[in-house]
Amino acid sequence: MVYLDNSATTKPYKEVLETYLTVSEQYFGNPSSLHALGLGAEKVLTRSREVVAKLLGVQAKEIIFTSGGTEGNNLAIKGIALEHSKRGKHIITSVVEHASTYETFSNLESNGFEVTYLPVNNNGSVSIQDLQQALRQDTILVSIIHVNNETGALQPVEEIGQLLKDYRKTFFHVDHVQGITKVPLDLKKSNIDLCTISGHKFHGVKGTGALYVRAGIQLSPMLHGGIQEARLRAGTENVPGIAALTKALRMASDKALEGKQRLKQLQKNAIAGLTEIEGVVLNSDEGQGYAPHIINFSILGAKPEVVIQALSHRGVYVSTKSACSSKLSAPSRILLEMGLGNERAGSAIRISFSYETTEKDIETFLKIMNEEVPKLLQVMR
Q: Which amino acids are annotated catalytic?
A: 324
Residues 10, 326 contacting (CB under 8 angstroms): no
Q: Return the HEC string of 344-362.
A: HHCCEEEEECCCCCCHHHH
Q: Considering only CA atoms, which of 153, 158, 160 is closest in space to residue 122?
A: 153
User: Which residues, listed in sequence order, are joined to residue 173 by a DSSP beta bridge?
Assistant: 143, 194
CA distance 207 to 198: 8
Identify the sign of the CA torsion 257, 261, 262, 266.
positive
| CA nearest to 24, candidates 197, 241, 274 | 241
CA distance 355 to 262: 8
Determine phi and psi for 264, rounding to 5 degrees: -60, -40
